[in-house]
Amino acid sequence: MRLVILDNYDLASEWAAKYICNRIIQFKPGQDRYFTLGLPTGSTPLGCYKKLIEYHKNGDLSFKYVKTFNMDEYVGLPRNHPESYHSYMWNNFFKHVDIDPNNAHILDGNAADLQAECDAFEKKIKEAGGIDLFVGGIGPDGHIAFNEPGSSLVSRTRLKTLAMDTILANAKYFDGDLSKVPTMALTVGVGTVMDAREVMILITGAHKAFALYKAIEEGVNHMWTVSAFQQHPRTIFVCDEDATLELRVKTVKYFKALKRGTVPTPAYSQRTCTHSGTTDS
Amino acid sequence: MRDGRGTVRAPVLQFTNCRILRGRRLLRWEDLWVREGHIVDPEKLFFEERLVADQQRDCGGCILAPGFIDVQINGGFGVDFSQATEDVSSGVALVAQRILSHGVTSFCPTLVTSPPEIYHKVLPQIPVKSGGPHGAGVLGVHLEGPFISREKRGAHPEAHLRSYEANAFHDVLATYGSLDNVRIVTLAPELGRSHEVIQALTARGICVSLGHSVANLRVAEEAVQSGATFITHLFNAMLPFHHRDPGIVGLLTSDRLPPGRHIFYGMISDGMHTNPAALRIAHRAHPQGMVLVTDAVPALGLGNGRHTLGQQEVEVDGLTAYVAGTKTLSGSIAPMDVCVRHFLQATDFVMLDDSLHVRATYISGELVWQAEEARQ
């Protein structure tokens, strides 16, 4: 894996956004060649989305030939509920960029047949040629998407019941009222994300530190499903200092030495399609 | 615009880089989306119809506010709605077109106290009409008088005041002729049989407004219980607020209104009719009920000098209009956007550092007026 440690949340968000931006531009997407991106929700990626929007508004990045697949969506929450992941993606990303609505895929938590909806999602990913870069986060219980502790590490997109840790973590979005938090969700499986050609996990904040430790310094374990990515050929963990608080000093020193802790080199721009200096990729 | 299936559909317009006035706040990071004259939900459009905007309009950071609605305007630009001219509709159309530049998108042409012949001739010629590039929409006529108080008639001619003591609603119909195009009636609730008249009017969907009256609070409350929902130019042409009998003004904080209902009140915030301190008192007491009106007279948009208002002569000097030879205020000549700006200065109810000058007026998503600078 690569472990990229930035001083704070803003720098981590910016690094991640630049990485995604570079990847898309280097890919040279076009009419018959779409870049497929897997996307997360939650508070962690907000800074990254803001930066991506900034690059788009500057004219440096277009999402015209990008297809997106979100990781998950609550079951039973109306699509226009302010806490649905559809609303999240619209307000925090889609409405600010030039993505074609037909290429923005989010699971429908109100589908009549939920398993069929999940199967159809897997099919769409396959038809799109698989995911080029899957961006994700980590839960305090070490889960990726809604693959709660105990999820199969080869699982596919399916219906999951949320663990208490997750419900507690999400309560803040529902006025702190546990009874209002949805208890089920549709989610991509661990196996679904593992199929991506590249994976980037964003982890920021001290409350995620223990989960990060379990995910990368302990063994592969279905109780900490992010640990599955130890067996993925191309995974990057992007964190801030606080998220590394439970790691060994040796681990942190090693990875910091690999990357000289500065703001990443300037990103590519689709306007110029050139780059200055070296890049991290 | 053709969609994926090749069928033609209406274009979607997106107004960007704007501040939207909504829910009493200015929303900075929202855009306004319009299709076929209706505001649409872009999130719904994106996820359900899989559509994006066909055209974008950059608003240059301006404020997007709902079009102003003027429910009390007696004329303007030389047009007097209370005159039975040969071509009333042209007069209405002229005013409708000219007030677009004040940001007004709908209005209620107002007729002051007049003899029945005037009503019979004029009312049928002012139909309800949608707005558009030709001018602001006509919501219906506002009949201010003749069933008002003698003492508080203000600029209304005494000779044509009436009562409905004898035949209640039948007197009303006889006076006005047809009520088809009428939207608001201002009356004084202390007049005998007002209760029946108010009920009959509201049953027809006409808004009853209290004004030009010496009613005390109890009478006013009863009128509201009968169906009145509006107060005509608060403070003006009514008894002043008194701490033992607040009069009509007391309706703003009355606890005797029908449940779930609250009263609306017109205010002329031209800097002349009401002291800013009084404006603030009313606003603080009952902010949700405030409705800015111009009460503009035919002299609006014209210079100083003598003009008519119904059966009266009006003298205009600067921003004031008086009944000729008197000190009785006779309507106003402040355009709606001036009233809005004055209100901002008086009460600071909108948090912005803009000067609220009207840059462009849109009706149903269509540009119907634009300031000269904005055209470049």
Q: How much is the ipTM here?
A: 0.86
Q: Report whether B42 contacts A95 (CB < 8 A).
A: yes
Q: Are strands B182-187 and B207-210 parallel, antiparallel or unpaired?
A: parallel
Q: What is the H or E stretch that residue B80 is in?
A: strand B79-80
Q: Which of B295, B337, B348, B353 is catalytic?
A: B295
| B240: preceding bond cis by omega (within 30 degrees) | no
Q: Report whether B125 contacts B359 (CB < 8 A).
A: no
Q: Do the chains contact at B43 and A90, CB–CB below 8 Å? A: yes
pLDDT grade, residue A273 (50/70/90)? low
Instruction: Consult the annotation and say whether B159 binds a ligand.
Output: no
Q: Are strands B55-58 and B63-64 parallel, antiparallel or unpaired?
A: unpaired
Nearest CA in chain B to A99: B52
Query: What pLDDT shows up at residue A281?
Result: 40
Region A154-178: what's the mean pLDDT? 90
Asked if residue A262 has pLDDT above 50, the reply is no
Whether A7 is a known active-site residue: answer no
- In the A/B pair of chains, how many CB contacts fall below 8 A? 29
- Tokens representing B197 are 């008249």
The domain boundary residue, chosen from B12, B34, B66: B66
Which of B31, B42, B50 minimises the CB distance to A102? B50
**In a domain? residue B92:** yes
Q: Report whether B315 contacts B322 (CB < 8 A).
A: yes
> Do B86 and B45 share a structural domain?
no
CATH of residue B55: 2.30.40.10
> Do B241 and B104 share a structural domain?
yes
**What is chain A's mean pLDDT, rounded?**
92
Q: What is the H or E stretch that residue A86 is in?
A: helix A85-92
The domain boundary residue, chosen from B66, B91, B108: B66
> Do B62 and B72 share a structural domain?
no
Full residue range of the structural domain in which residue B43 is found? 1-66
Q: Do the chains contact at B52 and A90, CB–CB below 8 Å? A: no
Query: What pLDDT shows up at residue B373?
Result: 53
> Do B215 and B303 share a structural domain?
yes
**In a domain? residue B369:** no
Q: Which residues contact A145 (CB under 8 A, 6 or more apart)?
A: A40, A71, A72, A136, A187, A188, A193
Q: Which of A14, A72, A73, A240 is catalytic?
A: A72
> Do B142 and B38 share a structural domain?
no
Q: What is the H or E stretch that residue B210 is in?
A: strand B207-210
Of A22, A3, A11, A7, give the one whose Cα is nearest residue A60.
Answer: A22
> Do B139 and B102 share a structural domain?
yes
Asked if residue A225 has pLDDT above 50, the reply is yes
> Do B113 and B27 share a structural domain?
no
**In a domain? residue B350:** no
Residues paired with B185 in a beta bridge: B143, B208
Q: Report whether B283 contacts B235 (CB < 8 A).
A: no
Query: What pLDDT shows up at residue A57?
Result: 92
Give me the helix-helix angle, B336-347 and B276-285, nearest 10°.
80
Of B237, B217, B234, give the one whose Cα is nearest residue B281.
Answer: B234
**In a domain? residue B226:** yes
**In a domain? residue B366:** no
> Do B282 and B188 share a structural domain?
yes
CATH of residue B193: 3.20.20.140
What is the number of other CB atoms lying within 10 angstroms of the CB of residue A34?
A: 19
* Contact A64/B at CB under 8 A: no
Query: What pLDDT shows up at residue B219?
Result: 97
> Do B74 and B51 share a structural domain?
no
Query: What pLDDT shows up at residue A278?
Result: 38
Selected for mutation to probe chain B from A56, A81, A86, A90 (highest B CB count within 10 Å) is A90
Residuewise pLDDT in 10s, chain B (376 residues): 444 555 578 889 888 888 888 877 888 878 888 888 788 889 999 999 999 999 988 888 888 888 889 999 999 999 999 998 889 999 999 999 999 888 888 999 999 999 999 999 999 999 999 888 899 999 999 999 899 999 999 999 999 999 999 999 999 999 999 999 999 999 999 999 999 999 999 999 999 999 999 999 999 999 999 999 999 999 999 999 999 999 999 999 999 999 888 899 999 988 888 888 999 999 999 998 999 999 999 888 887 888 877 777 878 777 777 777 777 777 777 777 777 777 765 543 222 234 556 666 666 666 666 666 544 4
Q: Where are the alpha helices (DSSP H) in A97-226?
A: 114-127, 164-170, 190-194, 209-216
The answer to which of A102-106, A187-191, B330-334 has the lowest mean pLDDT is B330-334
> Do B8 and B35 share a structural domain?
yes
Q: Do the chains contact at B46 and A80, CB–CB below 8 Å? A: no
CA distance A83 to chain B (A): 14
Torsion sign over Cα B153, B159, B164, B165? positive
Whether B295 is a known active-site residue: answer yes
0.80 cut: is pTM over it?
Answer: no
Give the 3-state DSSP-derived string for B122-165, with helices as H, strands as E and coil as C.
HHHHCCCECCECCECEECCEEEECCCCCCCCCCCCCHHHCCCCC
Number of structural domains found in chain B? 2
Distance, CA of B156 to CA of B309 (rounded, Å): 9
The domain boundary residue, chosen from B41, B66, B91: B66
> Do B91 and B2 share a structural domain?
no
Higher pLDDT, A134 or A257: A134
**In a domain? residue B357:** no
Taking contacts as CB-CB distances below 8 angstroms, the residues of chain B near A100 are 52
Within chain B, what is the greatest distance between any pair of CA atoms? 71
**In a domain? residue B363:** no
Query: What is the set of domains in chain A, with CATH numbers?
Result: 2-259 (3.40.50.1360)
* Contact A86/B at CB under 8 A: yes
In the block, residue with structure tokens 């990485």? A19
**In a domain? residue B222:** yes
Taking contacts as CB-CB distances below 8 angstroms, the residues of chain B near A97 are none
What are the DSSP calls for A201-250, one per residue? EEE-SGGGHHHHHHHHTS--BTTBGGGGGGGSSSEEEEEEGGGGTTS-HH
Of A65, A69, A68, A56, give the one whose Cα is nearest residue A34.
Answer: A65
> Do B148 and B5 share a structural domain?
no
Burial class (CB in 10 A: 0-12, 13-18, 19+), A140: middle
